[in-house]
Every structure is written in C-alpha cells, then in structure tokens.
Amino acid sequence: MNRLARDAGLLLLTGALAVSATLTWRHWTRTAIASAEQQLQSRQRLAVLPEGSYDNQPLDTPLPRPAAQRPNSRILAAYRATRAGEPIAILLITQAQGYAGPIVLSIAIAADGRLIGSQVVEQQESPGLGARLADPQVHWLEQFANRQLGDHWALKRDQGDFDQLAGATVTSRAVITALQEALSYFDERRSMLLEVTPDE
C-alpha cells in the first residue's frame, strides 16, 4: 500500500511539473507567437500591392470604416498606400459569404479605379473545390487584375467576363461579387479615400 501511494504521488508530481512547464512555456512564447501572427497577417494583407510601389506603412493608419455596408459583402478595413506622399492605391479588406463560410479578401485598387490584385486572407471552403481559391498554383484570382468597375462582373455562364473556379460556383460568384462591390465602394468614395492628410 505504501508503494502504491508513493507511485501515485510520483505520478501526480510528474503531471504537475509537466503542466507547470507547459504553462510557463506558453507564457514565455505568447508574445512571440502573437507578433508572428501579426506579421503574417500584415504580409497577407500587403501581398496584393506590388513590391516597391509604396513607401509608407499603410496598415499603421487605417481609414474610417463605412457605416453602410455593401449588399453582399462587408468592408472590414481600409488603408491607403502612398509613394512620396501621393496616394497610389487603396487596400480594402472585405468579407463575403462563401459556400462553407466567410471568405476574407485583401483587395488593392489603384488610384485610377483599376483593380491591382486580390488575395484570400481567410476561407473555409471545401478542400479540393472552393478552397483552391487560395491555391497560388491555380491562379484563379489573377484574371481580375487590371479590371475596372465597368467590366461585366459575373461568370461567363452568367454572361459575364470571368471563368469560374471549377466545381465551386457559389465560391466563384461570392468572390466576383465582393470584388465588384469593393470597386463600387472605391468609386463612390474615391475623393475621401485618396485624400492624404498632412500627418500621414
């Protein structure tokens, strides 16, 4: 009985030490992990802007979010990229409802209203189908580069200008609508979005 109590005590002590070490490790690494996550998110958001095209830190000074949202998507954040004090692009973070859940996109729009590029920041679409939206080897999002609001923002099967992501009609339509609504938002608020204040 004495040996059993000793073994149980040793087991409890080992368990307590393991939990304590894990909690201590988590505490020490929490800041580094949060910083790494923030850097990854920043890189994802800024990846749609051509390298060297801006010289400010766009994410440091967010623009006011719209009170009224788009019919099928939400503007989560807006930023202004500048070069030598002149606005060169507006970066919009938008969210649309995909087939399996929300799709968050980073969208860069040039000062002339042309879509520079877009990238998936978050998505929950079906693996092998809608999830290929974020696959850099598929290049599906590249077809929207240099497009403008006046283009036919629909799938070719809906008399539009764009190919669909194979096997992912709902996902394709959601992204196309989100891009069109981002361009519409930019067009409606162009002067406010591009107006650089002295402290920027």
pLDDT at 34 over 70: no
Tell me: the pLDDT tens digits for 98-123?
999 999 999 999 999 999 999 999 98
Measured from the Cβ of residue 196, the count of other Cβ atoms closer than 10 Å reads 12
Kindly list the domain boundaries of the chain, sorted by start residue: 58-194
- Three-state DSSP at 46 gives helix
Question: Closest Cα to residue 62, out of 78, 42, 45?
Answer: 78
pLDDT per position as a tens digit, 60-103: 989 988 777 888 999 999 999 999 999 999 999 999 999 999 99
At residue 38, what is the residue type?
Answer: Q
Average pLDDT for 51-55: 91
Average pLDDT estimate for 162-180 = 93
Say if CB 82 and CB 88 are below 8 A apart: yes
Mean residue pLDDT across the chain: 86
Sequential DSSP letters for 4-23? HHHHHHHHHHHHHHHHHHHH
**What is the value of pTM for the model shown?**
0.78
Higher pLDDT, 1 or 188: 188
Alpha-carbon span 184 to 177, nearest angstrom: 10
Question: Which residues are within 8 A (CB) of 54 and not within 5 positions of it... i.e. 6 or more apart?
Answer: 81, 82, 83, 88, 89
According to the model, what pLDDT value does residue 156 have? 94
- CA–CA separation, 150 vs 185, rounded Å? 13
